[in-house]
Amino acid sequence: MTLAKNRGAGLDDRIMTAARELAQAKPLDHIGLSEIARRSGVSWPTVKRHVGSKAALRARLVDEQPELVRNVRDTKTRLLDAAARVFARQGYESATLDSVASEAGLTKGAVYWHFESKGHLFRALLREYEQRERDFSAQQVKKAAGAVSAEEAVLAVLTAELERVAETPEWARLPVEFVAAGRDPDIGADLASALRQRRDVLIEIIRELQAAARAKEEIDAEAAALLLSAVLRGLTELLLIEPELDIERALPRLARMIAHGLAVPDADAR
């Protein structure tokens, strides 16, 4: 009786070990009993006898490791953040899926579950970059809309960009890798879309200032946005190459120079 009991405990350990390994590689709702059976080297009925239903297995795994409640998006975000660091640090050509998995603290199987190849991961990273640009730009529009002058609005845009570079330098460095891979027409098209989107936001900010009579009506918003976009990209690259450079101190003067061409003169100066 004791021998049979020990054998049963040994089977349970094998089955749960396989289940835990799979839980590190994919979301819980994608783990099937037959997959656990193959991994643990036992039959499907044996797995079912030991763990019960898929729901019971999930509950048992979550009870052991509450962090497994993470959904697919959380896992994907974790991998994309890790990929951003790896690609920014090593470059696209040198980076490997093994290094991304290691950076994320996950198994290589977790990477392959979400991304079938390094190229697929890179494209997903570019789409994530585009979404981050969209979210960040929406915040900028909101801040600039509340500015009392063109100079304050430009300063808010410049400051937010430099703060972002300081907080997430790996995401700021990624466009260099995207440009290098831009010979691929799909990647090139995605990158162009992200850059156009950013310019569209700057156009919106300038038009908001014009509507509020804080910027000259005759200013070409598209040309001004192109200039500001080039300044932002240049500042970002300067900070990445020379992180010790004290750009922050020069920002108010830089904002004043840019805003001088945009701003409506004070009534006393007219």
pTM, two decimal places? 0.62
pLDDT in tens, 3-15: 444 455 688 889 9
Q: Is the pLDDT assigned to residue 69 strictly greater than 80? A: no
Q: How far apart are the first and last CA of the chain?
A: 100
State whether residue 53 is helix, strand or coil: coil
109 and 15 share one domain: no
Domain termination residue (choose one: 80, 114, 148): 114
The DSSP letter of residue 67 is G
The total number of structural domains that make up the chain: 3
221 and 110 share one domain: no
pLDDT of 85 reads: 92
Q: What is the mean pLDDT of the chain?
A: 81
| 76 contacts 114 by C-beta, under 8 angstroms | yes
Q: What is the mean pLDDT of residues 211-215?
A: 84
What span, in angstroms and rounded, lies between the C-alpha atoms of 129 and 9?
A: 48
* Position 265 confidence tier, pLDDT thresholds 50, 70, 90: low
Q: Is the pLDDT assigned to residue 269 strictly greater than 50? A: no
Q: Is residue 226 within a helix (H) or strand (E), and if so which, with residue range?
A: helix 221-241
- Residue 128 has φ and ψ, to the nearest 5°, of -65, -40
- Residue 261 has φ and ψ, to the nearest 5°, of -80, -15
CATH number at residue 180: 1.10.357.10
pLDDT of 1 reads: 43
What span, in angstroms and rounded, lies between the C-alpha atoms of 8 and 195?
A: 60
Cβ contacts of 36 within 8 Å, gap of 6 or more: 15, 18, 19, 22, 47, 51, 57
Supply the range of the domain harboring residue 30: 2-69
- Residue that the structure tokens 């640090």 belong to: 89
pLDDT of 84 reads: 92
78 and 190 share one domain: no
Q: Which of the listed ranges 85-89, 163-167, 259-263 does the model predict with the highest average pLDDT?
A: 85-89
Per the model's pLDDT, the better-predicted residue between 219 and 137 turns out to be 219
151 and 263 share one domain: yes
127 and 17 share one domain: no
Q: Is residue 90 within a helix (H) or strand (E), and if so which, with residue range?
A: helix 72-90
CATH number at residue 104: 1.10.10.60
